[in-house]
Chains A and B, each alone.
Chain A
Amino acid sequence: MSSVAIKSKGFDFKAFLANNGALVGLVILCLALFIATPRFLTAANLVNVGIQVSTIAVMAFGLTFVIVAAGIDLSVGSVAALSAMVSSYWVSTAALPGGLAIVIGLLVGAACGWVTGAMSAYGKLPTFIASLAMLTIVRGLTLVISDGRPIPTGDAVSFLGSDVGVIPVPIIVLVLSAIVAGFVLNYTVIGKNAFAVGGNTEAARLSGIPVKRVLVTVFVISGIFSALSGMILAGRLDSAQPTLASGYELDAIAAVVIGGASLSGGVGRISGTLIGALVLAVIRNGLNLLSVSAFWQQVVIGLVIAIAVGFDVFRRKNVKH
């Protein structure tokens, strides 16, 4: 969408740099860490980063749809928790077959997304407010169901946090999610509609695009991915905690915007979001390896967000001249 690459013979390195700032940043970051510490480029550490990144990235994939449609979804962390909790609750109390538990979790996520989307599309609430309300409502419901205590997950959800051979399941889910999300965003009417609505809602409406339905759909997608993310997280812990994924919405938003999406809508890529999530995870991992205090890590992450987005704003301004 925002690509400005001009077709010329050979490879336009400048244009590539300008369009893939986050990727270039990630590569530099990895090189720096490779030089700084021998512990970075080990299989065990990279797998660790992969697992770390999976929960945020999967959540951020769904969020990308909402942000492309010029909305925001603050409820993703809470929805992740409720989905994991309901799924575990059914397994432990009703002894449902494992596979069904995952389906129930995803349905809970979809339902939460539908409510948020409907509040903003039909109730005319700004998406910020609608999803802020859902953030506390859903977190509250999670506490109500669990009575504030962790619930053990069933086998199926635990599987999401386990390994297949040497490959952790979270990484497999991450790759599959990226492919599905990228496909839906770029090749389906749902995805292209999200771009049109986010780019100019009124123009989309006057072209016959069902704007309200599009808004609800992107929130449902966001809810489903959040649920998946929540179940991965619970699976790794073998239990659904009532405070699961709390505060994750901020990391997910950061991943999406570092990946080049615009909060004013119409621009965003799944590959960008993945890179954004990787940047965050690699920085955290690197700072841990270098024994930087957790307090300073927060400062660094904040600066990275500001620099990454600042770079993007600067680039767009230059393109528009």
Chain B
Amino acid sequence: MSKNPLLVLEKVCKSFGAIQVINEVTVEVHAGKVSVLLGENGAGKSTLIKMIAGVHPPDSGRILLDGEEVKITDTKSSEALGIATIHQELNLVPSMTIAENITLGRVPRRFGIINRREMRAVARAALDRLDLDLHVDTLVGELGLAQQQLVEIAKALSMDARVLILDEPTAALTNSEISQLFAVINQLKAKGVGMVFISHHLDEIAEIGDFVNVLRDGQFIATVPADTHENELVRLMVGREIDEQFPRARTDVADTVLLSVKDLSVGMLNNISLDVRPGEVVALAGLMGAGRTELIRAIAGADAYTSGSVTVAGAPLAGHDVAAATRAGIGHVPEDRKTQGLVLDASVAENIGYATMASSSKLGLVDRKGQRKRAEDIAARLRIRMGSIDQPIRSLSGGNQQKAVFGRWFTAGSKVLLLDEPTRGVDVGAKVEIYELINEITSSGGCVLMASSELPEVLGMSDRVLVMSQGRITGELLTAEATQDKIMAMAVSNVHRENESGNN
């Protein structure tokens, strides 16, 4: 590592109330290097970057910029020091143009009137620095997510940012978009910008990072080179060996069919037919925008379909009726637990109980005792870590929140689980626990249909893989015979080039 770091957090600490979230952590950012922050959810990564961004000033410890101590008390002072943060939720105004967004808050003026020519020139220069071929008068809302992110980076650079913090920038991007982002990051490296990069994807770390700072429970654990073996990174992060990342316990698949979809069509989905048998995990693989989420939602009754049929254990199921699907034994773990899965301000018990609230009620009265008992039982069985069953589910970690969504359907006795990216944003330890829940479903005679963008997960946890592309099923493989290459070949079949960069 070079001798003169650009930015140093030295023995910083931060507590919220009685809870110490950061304890004497020291992290360095170097010019032209990508410094990766790695740690499970709750390890303190986001608190640490909020310190740099001025959202949560540290309680103790020093922040050094070019070797001199600086005080970052709010976001303005952070910006003034040349530090820019690209948050997961972008800070852009969709109804304004790229030029307006880039100059937001510091609009060039002449005689008090907006100088549009100057504004466009500033924006043009910012885009040019990243070799972005976008028109500055385009509305930001018309851009895809990846391009919006690049506009945000351009905006940061136009404010002369020397330190760029990227908080899980790849979480919502497709593979080709990620390559575009990485190309930009590499350019910035060459220009001497120091970067902090947060990602849950271990493979990306080796590709884009220079060194890795591992955090665990608010403590600094180690700084290691980015090419450190994945298993070692996981060990550092979790603090123990993970025997098996994918503990799939395969069960004998019965001959009967539990979930059957026939010729289902709606919107982009085109004549989808599939069968899932008791004891079986079928994975839906494919590129982003291939129609996996749409298919899962249509089967679950969340969206309507125009033709085709769904049957569960031989009984036909009405379309666009979540309550009917629930009664038939379908459980749906949606793509985004925060916006679709949970009522964040409600308690753990209430969130677990939503699917059984009406069915267990008598004369319209909620069975409060029973609901509570069932929630407590399932929380213990799924090892949901929490202070109390009455605490708001917002305060749980991502993995435990996801387990609560599973718990809802376990409580409802669901036999057919439809999982949409079941381990997204879940840390390594909790992932394995969720995989064990999948095993539990299949060993008790249930079945699972799982959409996943993570091919290792597809290969590790499924029995059969259905590959989707452009709303059709373009291939089927037994997992035992599948490889990442075979799946990808099917996933891109028939894909017209322009669709890849389209608006997913």
Which residue numbers of A lie inside 8 Å of B, CB to CB? 1-3, 7, 187-190, 192-193, 195-196, 199-200, 202-210, 266-267, 320-321
Contact = CB atoms under 8 A, between A and B. Distances in A.
A320 B323 CA distance: 33
A210 B323 contact: yes
B300 to A, nearest CB: 7
Contact of B344 (A187, A189, A199, A206): A199
B340 interface: yes
B388 to A, nearest CB: 7
Contacts of A189: 357-358, 361, 364-366
B326 interface: yes
B322 A208 contact: yes
A224 to B, nearest CB: 16
B408 A187 contact: no
A14 B37 CA distance: 38
Contacts of A1: 345-347
Given A189-B364, A207-B408, A195 B346 contact: yes
Contact of B343 (A2, A7, A196): A196
Contacts of A321: 16-17
B143 to A, nearest CB: 24
A320 B391 CA distance: 12
B107 to A, nearest CB: 30
A208 B328 CA distance: 12
Contacts of A205: 302, 322
B71 interface: no
Contacts of A203: 334, 339-343, 354
Interface string B319-336: 000110110000010100
Please name the 7 residue pairs, one residue from A and one from B, whose CB atoms are nearest each other, closest first: A199-B343, A207-B354, A208-B326, A208-B323, A321-B16, A200-B343, A208-B322
Contacts of B326: 207-208
Contacts of B368: 187
A204 B339 contact: no
B355 interface: yes
A187 B365 contact: yes
Given A7-B388, A208-B354, A266-B346, A188 B364 contact: yes
> By CB atoms of chain A within 10 A, which of B302, B326, B366, B394 has the most?
B366
Contact of A192 (B17, B350, B390): B350
Contacts of A188: 361, 364-366
Contacts of A266: 343, 345-346
Given A188-B365, A208-B323, A202 B354 contact: no
Contacts of B342: 200, 203
Interface of B: 16-17, 300, 302, 322-323, 325-326, 332, 334, 339-347, 350, 354-355, 357-358, 361, 364-366, 368, 388, 390, 392, 394, 408
A104 B364 CA distance: 25
Contacts of B343: 195-196, 199-200, 203-204, 266
A193 B346 contact: no
Contacts of A206: 300, 302, 322, 332, 334, 340-341
Nearest to B17: A321
Contact of B364 (A190, A196, A200, A267): A190
B135 to A, nearest CB: 34
B366 A192 contact: yes
A1 B364 CA distance: 20
Contact of A208 (B325, B344, B346): B325
7 contacts: A3-B390, A188-B366, A193-B357, A196-B343, A200-B342, A206-B334, A207-B355
A199 B346 contact: yes
B323 A204 contact: no
A137 to B, nearest CB: 31
Contacts of B390: 3
Nearest to B300: A206
Contact of B366 (A187, A208, A209): A187
Nearest to A195: B346
A206 B332 CA distance: 7
B499 to A, nearest CB: 27
Given A7-B388, A207-B322, A207-B355, A2 B364 contact: no
B340 A202 contact: yes
Given A188-B364, A266-B345, 20 more contacts: A1-B347, A3-B390, A7-B388, A188-B361, A189-B361, A196-B343, A196-B346, A196-B350, A199-B345, A200-B339, A200-B340, A203-B339, A203-B340, A203-B341, A203-B354, A205-B322, A206-B334, A206-B340, A208-B322, A209-B358
Contacts of B347: 1
Contacts of A320: 394
B486 to A, nearest CB: 33
A114 B183 CA distance: 57
B432 to A, nearest CB: 25
A195 B354 CA distance: 11
A193 B343 CA distance: 11
A205 B326 CA distance: 11
B406 to A, nearest CB: 13
Nearest to B321: A208
A214 to B, nearest CB: 11
> By CB atoms of chain B within 10 A, which of A195, A209, A210, A267 has the most?
A209
Nearest to B332: A206
Nearest to B322: A208
A272 to B, nearest CB: 15
B354 A209 contact: yes
A192 B350 CA distance: 9
B131 to A, nearest CB: 39
A321 B18 CA distance: 12
Contacts of A3: 390
Nearest to B343: A199
Nearest to A207: B354
A312 B334 CA distance: 32
A46 B307 CA distance: 66
A21 to B, nearest CB: 18
A187 B369 CA distance: 11
